[in-house]
Amino acid sequence: MRESNSNSNSGRVTWEGCSVLLDINDGDRLVFARLSPAAKLKIGNKNCSLQPLIGRAFGTVFQVDNAPEGPCLSPAQVNVNNAEEIGDGQGSHELRDKVNVNNVEEVRDGEVNVESRDNRALVDNNTAQSLTGEDIEAMRRQGARGNEIIEALIANSATFEKKTSFSQEKYRLKKQKKYAPKVLMRRPVARSICEAYFKKYPSKIGFLRVDTLSLLLSMANVSSSSDILVVDTVGGLLTGAVAERLGGTGFVCNSYFGQAPYSMDIVRIFNLSDEICKRILRSPISDLLLPKESSEQILQHDVCNVESQSNDETSASVSMVEISHTSENGISDIGTENTEPALEVRKAPKAGERAQKEVIDLWKENGFSSLIVAAPELDTWTLVKDLLPLLANSAPFAIYHQYLQPLATCMHNLQLGKMAIGLQISEPWLREYQVLPSRTHPCMQMSAFGGYILSGTKICSTANSIAPTE
């Protein structure tokens, strides 16, 4: 069992207490779950234990099998044709080559791509399938696997042979989703977490698209040993993504206005090591803005506050969390629901401790290496005007917003105040393509909007440069 690794990346095999992203039927359903022997997930009408997922490689595809004790998840054969040859040769290159040889043929076949059939003779009258629901249930009871059911459905379909190979493929896929659902176990990292939320629950992350998030991280030069000041009202996605990039060096300072920190739920979904979690600190912006001397009293005064905060959900030692969602009507929603822990599995690492005076003083003395803001609810200009002086000279910053105007106003004021240079508002545009022999084209659906970013570099404040009021 691999316990929390010092390097999150070495975690390519799951362990008990590990967080995973379960991708059911190619993104139809996306579920974040924490693995434990007691954790269960409902797939279709079956309740499956997640125990078989422990100790498996990320990237493994599972299928639902009917075991005598009930439905059970087991690793699916990579490729039906090659299943026998593969055996348990994990990562064996010889075997991989064998697979290659077989598939090369398939690719060539595909290349020919001569379609002799078309759908002129197809009549869709719902009588094409001679297997009934009862027949299928009976097969199930006799222990038929999903793939066998699909083959039976095809064999009993009057129209399958007449379909074009393209529609045959579609038919097979539709049946597979229903009778042999596939569960792909993905690593929960910034990319997959952002994509999952963007697809299923974008409002929770302020509609921050993955390419936009990636730009924020590079425009703010997030690199090892830096101290990144963050304002994150996007559920902790930004904080987690920055921490992942810091890899246990430097600090992410998750700052907030007022008394209550913003939610950081999403941080727990990342498999961040303890070393990395320790680098995520929280601080009220008022503490950061206090002159160095007076901060002492305030922080002491707040000690009890710190105590009570360590009880909040993020820093509490959550024993088991299953972040799941319901998928009624095919519309899935990633929500947070704390299932009652059946077993104390493992203490989830602490993230988001209140920043202590010593580290705050250090930040005040040296300045932060950069600033990232993803806080659509807060007024951009007043926020930036307050926070920019906390940055070291020549430090870059990147501000995200769903609307253009607040960034335009902020940029204009920064220019007038001569507070920053290299100012630019950019809007990323991302298009995905379907690439298939003779059928390559942009995907029919695309996200038309990923938000705006204002980026720039803070310059030394000269004594006479005055920021515009307002």
- Smallest separation, CB 311 to another protein (Å): 30
- Smallest separation, CB 235 to another protein (Å): 18
Residues 11-50 that bind another protein (CB under 8 A): 12
* Token output for 276: 């990395």
58 touches another protein (CB under 8 A): yes
Q: Tokens 């963007």 map to which residue?
A: 198
Select from 37, 59, 335, 468 the one that contacts another protein (CB under 8 A). 59
339 touches another protein (CB under 8 A): no
Select from 18, 20, 50, 217 the one that contacts another protein (CB under 8 A). 217
For 14-18, the CB contacts below 8 A with 24+ separation are 14/53, 14/54, 14/55, 14/56, 14/57, 14/58, 14/185, 15/54, 15/55, 16/54, 16/345, 16/346, 17/320, 17/345, 17/346, 17/348, 18/54, 18/271
104 touches another protein (CB under 8 A): yes
Gap between the Cα atoms of 446 and 442, Å rounded: 9
291 touches another protein (CB under 8 A): no
221 touches another protein (CB under 8 A): yes
Alpha helices (runs of H) in 302-403, residue ranges in sequence order: 303-309, 357-366, 380-387
- Smallest separation, CB 141 to another protein (Å): 27
Specify whether the CB–CB gap between 255 and 227 falls below 8 A: no
Q: Residue 252 pairs with which residues in a beta bridge? A: 228, 280
Residues 418-457 that bind another protein (CB under 8 A): 421-433, 435-437, 440, 452, 457
Nearest to another protein of 335, 422 (CB atom): 422
Specify whether the CB–CB gap between 453 and 212 falls below 8 A: yes
Show the site string, 60-99: x = touches another protein by CB under 8 A, - = not.
xx-------------xxxx-------x-xxxxxx-xx--x
Nearest to another protein of 57, 122 (CB atom): 57
Alpha helices (runs of H) in 210-273, residue ranges in sequence order: 210-219, 237-246
404 touches another protein (CB under 8 A): yes
Nearest to another protein of 47, 79 (CB atom): 79
- Amino acid at position 431, single letter: R
By rule CB under 8 A, what count of residues binds another protein?
A: 99
How far are the Cα atoms of 245, 279, 363 from residue 226, in angstroms, in the given order? 10, 11, 11
247 touches another protein (CB under 8 A): yes
Select from 34, 175, 187, 401 the one that contacts another protein (CB under 8 A). 187
- Amino acid at position 442, single letter: P
Nearest to another protein of 272, 320 (CB atom): 272
